[in-house]
Amino acid sequence: MRFQVSTFFKVLGVGAFLLIFSLALQAGPAPDGGGDLFKQKCSMCHGVDGKGYSALKTPDFTDAKVQASLMDKEIKETIKNGKKGTAMPAFADRLSDEQIHSLVTYLRSLKR
Ligand code: HEC
């Protein structure tokens, strides 16, 4: 009888731990957020702030004119397939459609 009671509390303890753990995960930053992805995959060429580097000829994504010159569809295509004749690489095999979508949302949020 004693054994069963202690087992019951152990199972309860593990359950509570898992619950708290999963809540803590949800409270943290979204792991696939566009901002995090941008920092990991794009910032080395486009700058952490998205302003680009003139030496690399990367555009300033905070510039309203640059934003206006790009359509969402074009941005998606560029991320997927890269830009021929430039250093912009293709990410189709490394990013899901969802991740690419969140990157587009993030790029749009940079506009001043
Ligand atoms: C190895 C460097 C490099 C990396 C990494 C890189 N880019 Fe680029 N990207 C470039 C360059 C260079 C250009 C400018 C191409 C040109 O001359 O039109 C560019 C252009 C762009 C453009 C504008 C395309 C256009 O039609 O004007 C977008 C949007 C873009 N990149 C998004 C991204 C995103 C999102 C990532 C991360 C997933 C990324 N890039 C990663 C180098 C890079």
| Cα-based angle 93, 99, 100 (whole degrees, multiple of 5) | 75
Please check whether residues 80 and 68 belong to one and the same domain. yes
- What's the token pair of residue 33? 């957020």
Please check whether residues 17 and 67 belong to one and the same domain. no
Please check whether residues 66 and 43 belong to one and the same domain. yes
**Strand locations in 15-104, DSSP E?**
none
Please check whether residues 63 and 97 belong to one and the same domain. yes
Cα–Cα dist 50/59, whole Å: 8
Please check whether residues 14 and 65 belong to one and the same domain. no
CA of 17 to the centre of ligand 1 (A): 43
Structural domain boundaries enclosing 77: 34-109
Tens digits of residue pLDDT in 46-88? 999 999 999 999 999 999 999 999 999 999 999 999 999 999 9
Tens digits of residue pLDDT in 2-50? 667 777 777 777 777 666 666 565 554 445 589 999 999 999 999 999 9
Q: How many domains does the chain have?
A: 2
- Closest atom, ligand 1, to C-alpha of 104: 35
90: left (phi over 0), alpha (psi -120 to 50) or beta: beta
CA of 98 to the centre of ligand 1 (A): 18
Give residues (CB < 6 A) around ligand 1. 41-42, 44-46, 56-59, 70, 74-75, 78-79, 83, 86-89, 91, 103
